[in-house]
Amino acid sequence: MPDTVSTHDNAGLLVLAVDDEAPGLSEIKFLLESSPHIRRVLTAFDAAEALRILRGDYEQEVMARTKAGLPPVDAVFADINMPGLSGMDLARVLSAFRYPPALVFVTGVEERDALVTAFDVGALDFINKPINEERVLKAISRVADRVGRTPAPQASTTASAQALPAEPTDDEVIPVELGGTIKLVPRASVRYVEAQGDYARLHTQDGSHLVRIPLAQLEERWANAGFVRIHRSYLVALPLVSELRMTANGYAVVIGSGETAKELPVSRRHTKELKERIVRPPKSGW
């Protein structure tokens, strides 16, 4: 049976660990509880039980959070490979929540190819098996940054701040496949994104990476992180735009400076909005 919670405490994170194997569930629960960011760990042996917990069937606190306009839990740490509903299936259901919790996948070697697809369902981070404390603590820090929580002993959050859904942070990582291995690319390192059919190419200072996700989806997902569409083929990190200039073919933006500067075209339909964003950037969002 899942753990029960009798009181609601704003300090620290409430997380749910999901694994169909008892040793694995015990291990991830133990490691999660070793972090000062964590207040309580709920557990489930499969995705179906996890969904019952997230609906508030067992947890009064979960129900209260949902009624208050908060995610039912701050984060879900889920094994990808589970019988019945898989971790990926669970992730797709979570992505449909009005206020979805942060999602961290726990994955074995044979499942790593799934990580590229997992990005599309909103995973914040990935922990490879066999898991270790350092990697779990790093994932917890990313979750804490996402939801704006400090470690439990120092936590002090107002009720009004709690009621606001968390904004995305630059700690999101994108899994990309390189020569049979999976590399996690921080979103903060992406300078601009180029459409390539149903794929997108992420351009960073060190090179580029192809991911299986359409540019339109990244535009919607990364809007609050400072990325803006300038052309049907380009999405750029607006804080990295150093110039907006006239060219023989219309406007163009310059990303960066010096030898690494990159000029990209701005389509006519996006020019007005881009000028407004540059001259009068929004007060929040990045």
Please say whether the beta carbons of 148 and 163 come within 8 A.
no
Q: What pLDDT score was predicted for residue 37?
A: 92
Q: What pLDDT score was predicted for residue 157?
A: 35
User: 10-residue block means of pLDDT along the chain (286 residues)?
Assistant: 41 91 92 93 93 88 88 93 84 84 80 59 80 90 78 38 39 69 80 90 89 85 88 93 87 88 92 81 48
| Number of helices (H), then strands (E), in the chain | 9, 15
Q: What pLDDT score was predicted for residue 121?
A: 67
What type of residue is 159?
A
Query: What sign results for the dihedral spanned by CA atoms 18, 49, 89, 189?
Result: negative
Please say whether the beta carbons of 29 and 55 come within 8 A.
no
Please say whether the beta carbons of 155 and 194 come within 8 A.
no
Q: What pLDDT score was predicted for residue 19?
A: 93
Nearest by Cα to 170 from 122, 116, 124, 229: 124
Q: Which residues contact 64 (CB under 8 A, 6 or more apart)?
A: 8
Structural domains of the chain sorted by starting position, each given as residue range(s) with its CATH number in brackets: 13-147 (3.40.50.2300), 174-279 (2.40.50.1020)
Q: What pLDDT score was predicted for residue 178?
A: 67
